[in-house]
């Protein structure tokens, strides 16, 4: 069953708040990352925490090296009296998906979603090695940048992109002259530093509302479709130059049927991945991609995906966009992908 075929309850993103991501935030613990964004998102939605029907968060223990970090983070929403709540050990975009599913049930009308991540505390490339198959991959010690570089090489070899194309993406997101970027040395060839994401700490929060609860807002960003898919883990079993899971999710989310798309927020931590994703989503040159700068500008782990959904919704909230596509990714070389289609128009 796909999200696009069956009749769904109309659900919208009605507010989005984020901390400006920074390279290293030593002053805030996880509670202090969560509290301000939750407070801001609720205020923006005109709700109190007692109004919220369901709360769900995304975070990952390994980023800070401590089990159960989400337990203290929960204090940031002050769950008293007790609340209906859940947590995914994933990017917050999947927490939003869980909330969207929950709202389909019809008995609650609002959901609060938050995500936080402090990537700066650990050695992030080594931490991400822990995501790999523990028998054949993790013991080799291959890091996240090297994995992405294997994918980038495959894309270059396919003839569908050049190193210059990668630099054009990087220049568009983070500035700089293409020729100068290309003159810099490789980090892990064929990737240069500008092709790779920064390490960032951050947090964000989103409020979802359904039906009339959403219609109270001036310009809700209606979720017209949302879907996520995963691919096999072993890189040697995948075509690294295509994001088949993104394509499937896009089909189920209705990317092709929404009409003209004004903006796309793609969670592409590496420059070549933006090209692969544009291709998988069928986005034409007319679509403004990552006006926020995307993950090449700030990449707080577990937050950056939900941020894409929030940034895309914010463009609808302020009237700059009518239809938007948002995307989140997880795992090595775009292994898992979520696609969300947002519109200022509720489904007819």
Partner 1 sequence: MDRDEEVLEAPYRLEYTYQRSTGPVIGRFLGALRDARLEGVRTASGSVMVPPLEYDADGAATGEPTVVGPGGVVTTWAWVTEPRREHPLPHPFAWALVRLDGADSAMLHAVDAGSIDAMRTGMRVVPRWQDERTGSIRDLACFVPESAAAAAAAAAAAAAASAAAAGDDRPPVTMFPSPVALDYTVTAGRHLSAYLRALAERRIVGGRCPVCTKVYLPPRGACPTCGVPADAPVEVADHGVVTTFCIIRIPFDAAPFPPPYASVAVLLEGADMPIFHLLRGIPPEEVRMGMRVRAVWVADDQLGPTLASIRWFEPTGEPDAPHDQIARHL
Partner 2 sequence: MNRCAIIGIGQTHHKAKRQDVSIAGLVREAAARALADAELDWKDIDAVVLGKAPDMFEGVMMPELYLADALGAAGKPIMRVHTAGSVGGSTAIVAAQTVISGVHRRVLTVAFEKQSESDAMWALSPRIPFQPQLTAGAGGYFAPLVRAYIHRTGAPDDVGMMVAVKDRQHALKNPYAHLRIKGIDLAMVRDSPMLWDPIRYLETCPSSDGACAMVLTDEDGARAAPRPPAWVHGLATRSEPVVFAGRNQVDPQAGRDCARDVYAQARIADPRRDIDVAEIYVPFSWFEPMWLENLGFAASGDGWRMTASGVTALGGALPINPSGGVLSSNPIGASGMLRFAEAAMQVRDQAGEHQVDGARRALGHAYGGGSQFFAMWIVGRDRP
Nearer CB in complex with partner 1: 289/333: 333
Partner in contact with 71, chosen from partner 2, partner 1, none, beta carbon below 5 to 8 Å by kind = partner 2
Does 140 bind partner 1 (CB under 8 A)? Our answer is: yes
Binding segment toward partner 1, per CB under 8 A, in 92-100, 123-131, 210-218, 293-301: 123-131
Of the candidates 15, 9, 92, 20, the residue with the CA atom closest to the CA atom of residue 52: 15
Angle between helices 271-281 and 244-253 (to 10 degrees): 40
Contact between 317 and 256 (Cβ < 8 Å): no
Instruction: Kindly tell me the burial class for residue 66, based on how many C-beta atoms sit within 10 Å of its own C-beta (0-12, 13-18, 19 or more).
Output: exposed
Q: Out of 150, 182, 230, 288, point to the residue binding partner 1 (CB under 8 A).
A: 150
Partner in contact with 82, chosen from partner 2, partner 1, none, beta carbon below 5 to 8 Å by kind = partner 2
> Contacts with partner 2 in 76-95 (CB under 8 A)?
78-90, 94
Partner in contact with 186, chosen from partner 1, partner 2, none, beta carbon below 5 to 8 Å by kind = partner 1
Spatial separation of the C-alpha atoms in residues 79 and 281, rounded to whole Å: 38
Taking CA atoms, 160 is separated from 64, 163, 231, 273, 279, in Å, by 38, 11, 21, 12, 10
Nearer CB in complex with partner 1: 39/44: 39
Q: Out of 72, 125, 146, 347, point to the residue binding partner 2 (CB under 8 A).
A: 72
Nearer CB in complex with partner 2: 336/344: 336
> Contacts with partner 1 in 41-100 (CB under 8 A)?
49, 62, 64-65, 75-80
Nearer CB in complex with partner 2: 174/233: 233
What's the closest the beta carbon of residue 95 comes to partner 2, in angstroms? 9
Spatial separation of the C-alpha atoms in residues 307 and 339, rounded to whole Å: 13
Q: Out of 160, 174, 233, 322, point to the residue binding partner 2 (CB under 8 A).
A: 233
- Taking the CA atoms of residue 88, residue 316, residue 250 and residue 100 in that order, the dihedral angle to the nearest 10 degrees is 40
Token output for 160: 């569908």
- For CA atoms 128, 114, 232, 255, the dihedral sign is negative
What's the closest the beta carbon of residue 288 comes to partner 2, in angstroms? 28
Angle between helices 304-317 and 92-104 (to 10 degrees): 60
Nearer CB in complex with partner 1: 151/246: 151
Residue keyed to tokens 């009409």: 259
Bridge partner residues of 116 (DSSP): 203
Nearer CB in complex with partner 1: 50/348: 50
> Contacts with partner 1 in 201-260 (CB under 8 A)?
232, 234-237, 240
Q: Out of 14, 38, 144, 199, point to the residue binding partner 1 (CB under 8 A).
A: 38
Listed in sequence order, the DSSP H helices in 239-317 are 244-253, 271-281, 304-317
Q: Out of 10, 25, 30, 98, point to the residue binding partner 2 (CB under 8 A).
A: 98
Nearer CB in complex with partner 2: 59/290: 59
How many CB atoms within 10 Å of residue 196?
A: 22
Counting Cα atoms < 13 Å in the Cβ hemisphere of 177 gives: 3
Name the phi and psi angles at 4, rounded to 5. Answer: -90, -25
Interface residues with partner 1 (CB under 8 A)? Answer: 26-29, 31-32, 34-35, 38-39, 49, 62, 64-65, 75-80, 121-123, 125-127, 129-130, 134-143, 146-147, 149-154, 157, 185-191, 232, 234-237, 240
Interface residues with partner 2 (CB under 8 A)? Answer: 1, 3, 6, 8, 55, 60-62, 65-68, 70-72, 74-75, 78-90, 94, 97-98, 101-102, 104-106, 127-128, 130-135, 138, 227-234, 237, 244-245, 248, 330-332, 335-336
């Amino acid at each position: 069953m796909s999200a696009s075929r069956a009749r769904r309850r109309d659900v919208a993103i009605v507010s989005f708040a984020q901390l400006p991501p920074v390279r290293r935030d030593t002053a805030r613990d996880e509670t202090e990352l969560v509290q301000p964004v939750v407070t801001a998102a609720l205020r923006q939605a005109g709700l109190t925490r007692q109004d919220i029907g369901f709360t769900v968060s995304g975070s990952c223990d390994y980023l800070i090296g401590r089990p159960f970090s989400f337990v203290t983070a929960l204090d940031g929403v002050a769950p008293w009296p007790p609340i209906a709540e859940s947590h995914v050990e994933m990017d917050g975009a999947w927490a939003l998906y869980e909330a969207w599913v929950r709202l389909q049930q019809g008995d609650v009308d609002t959901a609060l979603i938050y995500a936080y991540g402090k990537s700066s505390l650990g050695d992030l490339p080594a931490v991400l090695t822990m995501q790999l198959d523990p028998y054949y991959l993790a013991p080799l010690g291959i890091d996240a940048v090297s994995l992405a570089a294997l994918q980038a090489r495959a894309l270059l070899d396919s003839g569908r992109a050049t190193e210059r194309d990668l630099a054009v993406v990087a220049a568009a997101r983070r500035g700089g002259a293409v020729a100068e970027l290309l003159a810099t040395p490789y980090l892990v060839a064929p990737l240069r530093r500008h092709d790779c994401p920064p390490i960032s700490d951050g947090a964000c929060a989103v409020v979802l509302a359904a039906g009339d609860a959403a219609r109270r807002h001036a310009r809700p960003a209606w979720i017209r479709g949302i879907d996520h898919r995963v691919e096999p883990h072993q890189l040697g079993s995948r075509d690294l130059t295509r994001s088949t899971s993104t394509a499937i999710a896009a089909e189920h989310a209705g990317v092709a049927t929404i009409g003209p798309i004004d903006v796309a927020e793609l969670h592409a931590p590496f420059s070549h991945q933006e090209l692969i994703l544009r291709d998988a989503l069928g986005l034409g040159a007319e679509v403004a991609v990552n006006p926020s700068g995307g993950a090449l500008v700030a990449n707080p782990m577990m937050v950056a995906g939900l941020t894409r959904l929030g940034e895309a919704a914010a463009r609808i909230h302020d009237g700059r966009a009518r239809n938007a596509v948002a995307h989140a990714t997880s795992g090595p070389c775009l292994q898992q992908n979520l696609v969300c289609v947002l519109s200022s128009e509720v489904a007819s």
